[in-house]
Each structure stands twice: as C-alpha cells, then as structure tokens.
Structure 1
Amino acid sequence: MLAAEEITLHTFFPICAGDPSTNTAYNTSPISAKNRIHAGSGTFIQVRMICLPPCFRDLGSGRLTPSSPPSSSGVADRLLQSGLLARGESMKPPRSLVVLVAAGKLYSRPYRHRIGSHHVPSAGIRLGPVTSAEHRVALRSPRLSDASAWQTLRLRDQHLIEPFWVSSPKSWSRRHTEGAWVDEFLHMRKEARAGRALPLVIEVEGRFAGQFNMEHIDWGAKSAEVGVWIDSSLTGQGIALAAANLLAEYVFDILGLRRVTAPVCVDNRQATRLVQQAGMQREGTMASYLDVGGRRKDHDLWAITSTMWAAKSARDSNSTAS
C-alpha cells in the first residue's frame, strides 16, 4: 500500500484523478525503473513517492504551501465529498502531515485499490490444458460469448442439476436465458474484482463444458468455497477431477490459500465421489444447510488444506513416476 507518510520533498508525483497530463509539471526528477512497482497489469509509484494533489507545489525551501486557493472542483471539495475533511474546516497551509496524508490517500485511492485487490485477476485467467481421457481440459475466465453454450447445457441437464442447485421462485427456463447469463457474468466479474470470488469455465477441447467457481474468499483466513457442474455427456471420464486439480494447484500454490471447502448435498453421490477423489475430507454434516431443489436439505462439509494438497500432489507424482 502506498504510504503517504514517507515523503521526498524534491520528488513529487501527483495522482490527479487518473489524468497523467498533470504529472510532467510536478515531477522534479525522473522516475527510474527502481522507483516503480508492478501489480497486475499496472505500474505504480514506489512507496517512497508521495501522491499529492496539484494545488501543492515545492517552493524549494523544504516546505509545502498551496499554490492557489482550491476552486469548487478543488481538493477541499474532494476531501469533503470523501469524508476526509469535516464541513466548516478550511484548507489551511499544512503545518503537519495530516492534510498531506489525507490528500495522498484521496488521490491514490484508485491505485491503492488495484494494488490491494487480493491477487485475483477479474479476467484473462487460463489454467492448463491437461489431458484426461484423451481430452484437453482447461480452466479459463468466463466470457459473454459463453451464453448460448451455457444455456443449452443447463436446460438439457436440468434433471441432473436442479435437485442440487439453490432454489428460486423463477422457473428453470427463466433462470437460463441469455440475459440471465449476462447478469451472472457481470455479477461474477464484480465479485472477482472485489477479490471475493474466482469464477472459471471448464473448457474441453476448446468448448464450454461447465463451471468451476470459487466463492466466499476470505483473505484474512485464507479460505474459500468451491462449487462445480459439468456437461453430463462428459461425466465419468476424469474431466471434473482434472479441473479440480488445476484449480487446487492455482489456489494453493499461486494464490496462497490455506483451506478450501465444498458443501455437498448428502444425496449427491456423483459430487461426493469427486471431492473424495480430489483429496478432500468430510468434516461433518450440516443439517438443513441449503434450500436446493425446492426444499432445505442436509449437506456434508468437505475440506482440503494446503498441507493435504501438498501431500496428495507428492503421492500422485510418486505413483506417476513408478
């Protein structure tokens, strides 16, 4: 996170609402490669650089003073709107770091948000491919163009999916229009951007074949919950297990999560078999846990930790080598 308290009085880089044109006038020295950090697809100022609004300038005397009174669209109004400055207070020449810190936080907010977005890209993820039953299996981010394939598979496999899917007052067909996919896509992208979810599509031989979503990500506890469904014509070929292994490798080895859980309806034998093969352990039964298929049902809680995943990976590697 950018620290406004670390001030270099002779090197200022104001961040002015995303307008890079203001940077030139306030840079008193070039920003070298070592003064930049990279996060995701963006490049940001290193923490030793201070983010100041354009109404401040260096007078060369080692002190900061306002260059001109703030206008109606100036810093004072921005601070009032954001709650960093109380009404009735004025923008006095700063005699301490309080105003500088507040202004730095205000103007660096979009960049701090991107830097601290908890490591999860909101799009463009692709894991794999790996081979299972002579099929190339991959996981990727969902696309708007998946609407037709998603609708076709979900309507065709209604009798297999709906008994274990969260209940809704809407009919299954109304829940699976192309417009419904657009709504789901936008919601998934929002959750991913907030670092709360990792939505993924199962792709087999380059075509949409199901979904494998990680939700309820808790970065403090380093935990998450997963759910999966797959094209019924591809079951029994190890494809869902291959996808599960791709996801586990990513969330444990790359994202650094420590624990992943999966609530599985006690009647869902196919899902129970999958979580067992994936190395998860049953921790107990949650009575009347979710309303699925039109009524509340008991669900078993299955879980795998990063330690369990590492042990399973080692066993799989040894068995492959032998």
Structure 2
Amino acid sequence: MTSQVYAGPYGTEPRHPGWPARLGPLVVRAGNVALRPVHLRDGREWSRIRLRDRDYLEKWEPTSPGSWADRNGFGAWPPQWLSLRALARRGQCLPFAITVDGAFAGQITLGNVIRASLRSAWVGYWVSSELAGGGVATAAVALVTDHAFRAAGLHRLEATVRPENVASLRVLGKAGYRQEGLFLRYLDVAGDWRDHISFAVTAEEMGAGFAARLIADGKAQLPEAR
C-alpha cells in the first residue's frame, strides 16, 4: 500500500512522518526507558496508575468535565486511545507510551503538530509516581525531542509548566529546553486560571542529540553500557 503524502513548502513528505515509531531504550536509575505507540491493551494499567496517583497528577493537569474516577476509569481509555490513534494517523500528534523495563509507566505526546512554515508541536507527559526522581521523564523527553527533529521533521517544540511544579521544571532543564517567558493565567488547572512558564527548543540547538547529551552528562546510559 502506498503511504499518503502531502506537498508543502518543504516538498513532498509522508502524511505522518515519524509515526509510528519505537524509541530508545535509555538506561536511567529507574531502569530501561523506551517509547512506543499507545495500545488499546494499555487501558488497565493506565487506569490503575492514574486512579492511584490522583493526588500526584491532578494538580498539574488541565481542568476537565467529570470526576477524576470517570475520566481515568478503565472505560475512559478506549475512546481516548481511538482519538489519539486518529490524530496520529492524520499527522496531528505523536502519542507514545513510556515503558520502564517493558512495563507501561506513563505517556508522552507531541501534540498540535503544525507543519508548513511553522513545523512545531507541544510536548506533554506524565509518569507513575513510583518512578518519580528516577530519570524516566527526562529520558522520555530527550528521546521524543530527538525523534521530533529527526524522523518527524519538526523545527520547534514547546512545553508549559506551572511555576510550582519544580520536578517538571527540572525535567525540561535537564533535557535541554530553555525558558522563554511567563504566560499569565494561561490554563485552567485544578479549577483556576494558572500561570505557566514557557519552555522551548529548536532543531538548531540539537547538536549531537538530546539523548546523547544526557549520556555525556552522566544522566543516562545505553543498555550495553550498564
């Protein structure tokens, strides 16, 4: 079957370059971190972790209709997965599961992918509280950033974080993102409009790669080097 392509200012390219893909692994304190497309069968573990981690996650995530239990119960996953898969097939997002030693551990998504002359996306992620501080989120951000600028052909990635979310600020800093400014009352989180710090990185800042930078800084290793 011939892949769908579209023609733009950068020539003809696949409709969803860089998707699907498997990325990694990188070895960090918590284990072997890899990224793969989200699966329908992830639902049970996705729901178990998110229901358990409500206090850990809810204060950082956008306000949404319904209760936490409704939005994160097992039955909420199939429609969410179908939506992510449809967006990925249209080239509008790259939704990855984060795995640690092969087990589902969270999600990282390149969302709102815009091509043409902008070629940008935002990065969003969450990781199980049991793995906090183990280097998992930093490794995942580095892997997905390298992939965005290489196989996916993007030029700029952005991320926004509440100033109070110290752990996530550290993740983006260690992964190579730079702070650009403060968005006042940017997003409705936990029932109120919250300020967010904006971070970004462009392809020109990539160098040898963000995963390679983590390895050079001693924050990650390749599996055979463990």
**TM-score, normalising length: structure 1:** 0.61
Partner residue of 2:147 out of 250, 266, 281: 250
1:155 to 27, 51, 54: 51
1:174 corresponds in structure 2 to 70
1:262 aligns with 2:159: yes
Contact 2:30 2:134 (8 Å CA) reproduced: no
Residue 284 (structure 1) aligns with: 181
Give the SS at the match of 2:206: helix
Structure 1 residue 129, shift from structure 2 partner: 1.6
More strand by share: 2
Residue-by-residue CA offset, 1:157-195 (whole Å, 9 max, x unaligned): 101110111112301001112221011100101111111
Aligned-pair CA distance for 1:133 = 1.6
Q: Could you tell me which residue of structure 1 aligns to residue 80 of structure 2?
A: 184
Structure-2 separation of matches of 1:267 and 1:134: 24
Structure 1 contact 120–193 (Cα < 8 Å) conserved: no
Runs of 4+ in 1 over 2 A off after TM superposition: 311-320
Which residue identity does 1:239 align to in structure 2?
A: V
For residues 229 and 317 of structure 1, what CA distance do their matches in structure 2 show?
Answer: 22
Amino acid across the alignment from 1:154:
R
Residue 91 (structure 2) pairs with residue 195 (structure 1) = yes
Kindly tell me the number of residue pairs found equivalent between the two proteins.
Answer: 211
Corresponding residue SS for 1:200? strand
Is 2:199 aligned against 1:302?
Answer: yes
CA contact (8 A) 2:119 2:156 kept: yes
Local SS of the residue matching 1:199: strand
Q: Could you say what secondary structure the match of 1:254 adopts?
A: coil
Match of 2:108 among 189, 193, 212: 212
User: Could you tell me how far 1:238 is from its partner in structure 2?
Assistant: 1.0
> Given the superposition, is the C-alpha separation of residues 316 and 132 from structure 1 closer, same or farther in structure 2, using an over 3 Å criterion?
closer
Over the aligned positions, Cα root-mean-square deviation in angstroms equals 2.1
Write the distance in 2 (CA, Å) between the matches of 1:213 and 1:272.
17
Contact 1:218/1:224 (8 A) holds in 2: yes
Q: Deviations over 1:35-77 (max 9, x none)?
A: xxxxxxx347xxxxxxxxxxxxxxxxxxxxxxxxxxxxxxxxx
- Secondary structure at the aligned position of 1:212 is classed as strand
**Residue 42 of structure 2 aligns with which residue?**
146
- Give 5+ residue unaligned stretches, structure 1: 1-41, 45-110
Uncovered stretches (5+) of structure 2, i.e. residues with no partner: 7-12, 219-226
State the alpha-carbon separation in 1 of the partners of residues 101 and 14 from structure 2: 35
- Structure 2: how far apart are the matches of 1:211 and 1:117? 23
1:38 alignment counterpart: none
Match of 2:169 in 1: 272
Report if the CA contact (8 A) 1:279-1:312 is conserved.
no
- Native 8 Å contact 1:241 1:274 kept in 2: yes
Structure 1 pair 311–205 and aligned structure 2 pair: CA distance change class (3 A)? closer
Q: Assess if the C-alpha contact under 8 Å between 2:51 and 2:73 holds in 1.
A: no
Contact 1:283–1:301 at 8 Å: present in 2 too? yes
Tell me how far apart the structure 2 counterparts of residues 237 and 291 of structure 1 sit (CA, whole Å): 29
Find the structure with the greater CA-based Rg: 1
In the alignment, is the contact (CA less than 8 A) between 1:118 and 1:219 conserved in 2? no
Equivalent residue runs for 1:86-105 within 5 Å: none
* Equivalent residue number for residue 24 of structure 2: 128
Distance in 2 (CA, whole Å) between partners of 1:257 and 1:169 is: 32
Structural mapping, 1:226-241, within 5 Å: 226-241=123-138
CA contact (8 A) 1:148 1:178 kept: yes
TM-score normalised to the size of structure 2? 0.86
Residue 119 (structure 1) aligns with: 17
Distance 2:217 2:66 in 1: 48
Deviations 1:290-312 (A, max 9, x none): 00111110011100111222266
